[in-house]
Amino acid sequence: MSKEQPTLFPELVPFQAQPPEESYVSFVPGVKPEEAFLEIDTLDELIGRMVECKRCGLRAGCRQVVVADGDPEADLMLVGEGPGQDEDEQGLPFVGRAGQLLDRILQAASLRRDEVYITNVVKCRPPGNRLPNPGEVAACRGYLDAQIRLIKPKILVCLGLLATRTIIDEQAAMGRTRGKWFTRQGISIIATYHPAALLRRQEYKRPTWEDFKSIRDRYQNLRRGE
Ligand code: SF4
């Protein structure tokens, strides 16, 4: 007679934890686990990697890497497209004319700039303030994904078409997508016009204000625990 004990649950196999890279689902579409800086678990370390970065050609043409501004513990995160000349000079996002308009919009929505976290899809200034090209966005979006993973915002606002296409849907059109709430990985996402577009197109001001009223209401409900 065999001394082998019968297996009670032969269909069960021992649980094996997946290494983080294999189980990781990025927040920003298209970011592969090996591009998501999963080995980094502090914002300071991530900032260190960003300021040393030369992954794309933009670094050669800018003064400095513009990482972010605001509260790293923020519940509300705003993402624009890339630094302009003033941002490149000062090393902070949204400090030029568009940034000053954003400050006024935030203030009107009862939000302080220092209670939100502001960054861009690409961290280096594209020459002549052109839009970043797809290769530059692909090179940089892993940093954005890592910022979102480490900051864990509850609300994410895409400012302008590039951020909207990078984060929400690569086929998005502002007219169709702005002002609607989406949820991904427990984070509420909304798109609205970039403040620079408001400086050129008066007719964008009203819908943008409607979007920010909705953002304000959701943020205030969140703070009240609703
Ligand atoms: S734009 Fe992004 S990927 Fe390109 S060099 Fe700057 S930090 Fe690196």
Distance 53 CA to ligand 1 centre (A): 6
pLDDT tens, position by position, 87-124:
999 999 999 999 999 999 999 999 999 999 999 999 99
Residue labelled with tokens 């502002």 = 174
Alpha-carbon distances of 224 from 7, 27, 188, rounded to whole Å:
53, 26, 16
Hey, which of 28, 50, 53, 67 would you mutate to test ligand 1's pocket, going by the most ligand atoms within 8 Å of its Cβ? 53
pLDDT tens, position by position, 165-219:
999 999 999 999 999 999 999 999 999 999 999 999 999 999 999 999 999 999 9
What CATH class has 30-223?
alpha beta
What's the residue count for the chain?
A: 226
Q: Is the CB of 67 under 6 A from ligand 1?
A: no
Domain coordinates in residue numbering, the chain: 30-223
Cα–Cα distance for residue pair 102/208, rounded to 1 Å:
11
For the beta carbon of residue 89, count every other beta carbon within 10 angstroms: 15
C-alpha closest to that of 166 among 108, 214, 119, 224: 119
- Hey, which bits of the chain come out as E strands? 69-70, 76-80, 117-120, 155-159, 182-184, 187-192
Distance 123 CA to ligand 1 centre (A): 6
Q: Is the CB of 63 under 6 A from ligand 1?
A: no
Residue labelled with tokens 């490149």 = 88
Q: How far is CA 149 from its chain centroid?
A: 10
Sorting pLDDT into bands at 50, 70 and 90, what band is 25?
A: very high
Sorting pLDDT into bands at 50, 70 and 90, what band is 1?
A: very low
Q: What is the chain's alpha carbon radius of gyration, rounded to the nearest angstrom?
A: 21
Atom of ligand 1 nearest to the CA of 132: 1
Sorting pLDDT into bands at 50, 70 and 90, what band is 226?
A: confident
Cα–Cα distance for residue pair 150/157, rounded to 1 Å:
17
